[in-house]
């Protein structure tokens, strides 16, 4: 309940300036700069000029700090366009979430427990999602399922994108490609070996020359970039929603 600010701030007694906000901000700065593993209690305390143990007065353990960080990371999504249809609104909603995770990639690595669903920003984002679908004549539980589906999808795709980006894409040395080629064969993997050998199994983080293949079974496989995958996945879900109406 710390996150909601209902625990009245103890304004009595000596306070040398530590606070929940400062601790969470310091932790986020470290995570942004050096990644989540660099966020140790000692590192956070040190960056604030306090001892490690001082943090435990504000946060009961590291997990709680992580949950606070995660929620704080999701503050980018503000308002949805009042014009346009539900597709436009859901798209900007999903893209807002995506932006937040891109800004704070480490947030994707913090496990989503029960607590995180009831954090302020989670509730706010869910509320915005429901607002985006206001015009749709669907029962509330279906809308919640849609929100859940879209946000999970957004997280997964962003996670994939970021892990590929930091590793420079699934690009192998020609030696590795060759060795893998001896093992990924038509006999063993009849449906995908061809794609692998053509390089189509490779996913790029950035936007390469995009090919939009015509719907033919034997079209040449192309490099795929995650941004396209994300847009495609969204449209897939939108198509599903439309088929419900």
Residue numbers 120-139 binding its own copies by CB under 8 A: 120, 123-124, 126-128, 130-131, 134, 137-139
Q: How far is the CB of 137 from DNA (least distance, A)?
A: 47
Instruction: Tell me if 10 contacts its own copies by CB under 8 A.
Output: no
Residue 189 interacts with which of DNA, its own copies, none, CB < 5 to 8 Å by class: its own copies
Q: Which residue has the tokens 């706010």?
A: 124
Burial 191-229 (b: 16+ CB within 10 A, else e): eebeebbeeebbbbbeeeeeeeeeeeeeeebbbbbbbbe
Q: Choose which of 79, 83, 187, 217 interacts with its own copies (CB under 8 A).
A: 217
Of 57 and 242, the one with the shorter C-beta distance to DNA is: 57
Residues sharing a CB contact under 8 Å with residue 16, sequence separation 6 or more, in sequence order: 50
Radius of gyration over alpha carbons of the chain, in Å?
A: 22
Residues sharing a CB contact under 8 Å with residue 184, sequence separation 6 or more, in sequence order: 192, 193, 196, 197
Of 96 and 221, the one with the shorter C-beta distance to its own copies is: 221
Residue 196 interacts with which of its own copies, DNA, none, CB < 5 to 8 Å by class: its own copies
Q: How far is the CB of 59 from DNA (least distance, A)?
A: 8
Instruction: Tell me if 63 contacts its own copies by CB under 8 A.
Output: no
Instruction: Tell me if 186 contacts its own copies by CB under 8 A.
Output: no
Residue 95 interacts with which of its own copies, DNA, none, CB < 5 to 8 Å by class: none
Residues counted in the chain: 245
The β-bridge partners of 204 are 225
Of 107 and 128, the one with the shorter C-beta distance to DNA is: 107
Interacting span for its own copies (CB under 8 A) from 27-35, 42-50, 70-78, 206-214: 206-214
Burial 44-67 (b: 16+ CB within 10 A, else e): bbebbebeeeebeebbeeeeebbb
Of 52 and 166, the one with the shorter C-beta distance to DNA is: 52
Burial (CB count within 10 angstroms: exposed 0-12, middle 13-18, buried 19+), residue 165: middle
Distance CA(78)–CA(177), nearest Å, equals: 45
Instruction: Tell me if 110 contacts its own copies by CB under 8 A.
Output: no
Instruction: Tell me if 117 contacts its own copies by CB under 8 A.
Output: yes
Q: How far is the CB of 4 from its own copies (least distance, A)?
A: 5
- Give the tokens for residue 133: 């679908």
Q: Choose which of 47, 155, 208, 227 interacts with its own copies (CB under 8 A).
A: 155
Instruction: Tell me if 236 contacts its own copies by CB under 8 A.
Output: yes
Taking alpha carbons only, the member of 228, 95, 106, 96 closest to residue 162 is 106
Of 99 and 229, the one with the shorter C-beta distance to its own copies is: 229
Residue 206 interacts with which of its own copies, DNA, none, CB < 5 to 8 Å by class: none
- Asked if 155 and 101 touch (Cβ cutoff 8 Å), the reply is yes
């Amino acid at each position: 309940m710390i996150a909601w600010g209902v625990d009245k701030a103890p304004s009595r007694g000596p306070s040398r300036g530590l606070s929940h906000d400062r601790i969470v901000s310091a932790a986020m700065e470290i995570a942004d700069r050096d990644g989540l593993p660099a966020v140790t209690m000692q590192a956070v305390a040190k960056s604030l000029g306090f001892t490690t143990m001082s943090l435990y007065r504000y946060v009961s353990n590291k997990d709680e700090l992580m949950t606070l960080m995660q929620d704080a990371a999701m503050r980018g999504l503000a308002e949805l366009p009042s014009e346009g249809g539900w597709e436009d609104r859901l798209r900007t909603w999903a893209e807002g979430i995506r932006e937040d995770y891109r800004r704070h990639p480490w947030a994707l690595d913090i496990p989503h427990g029960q607590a995180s669903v009831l954090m302020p920003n989670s509730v706010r984002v869910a509320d915005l999602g429901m607002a985006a679908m206001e015009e749709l004549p669907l029962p509330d539980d279906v809308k919640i399922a849609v929100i859940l589906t879209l946000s999970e999808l957004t997280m997964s795709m962003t996670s994939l994108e970021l892990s590929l980006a930091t590793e420079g894409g699934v690009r192998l040395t020609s030696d590795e490609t060759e060795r893998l080629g001896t093992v990924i064969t038509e006999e063993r993997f009849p449906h995908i070996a061809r794609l692998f050998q053509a390089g189509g199994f490779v996913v790029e983080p950035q936007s390469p020359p995009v090919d939009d293949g015509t719907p033919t079974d034997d079209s040449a496989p192309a490099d795929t970039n995650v941004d396209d995958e994300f847009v495609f996945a969204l449209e897939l879900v939108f198509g599903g929603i439309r088929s419900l109406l």
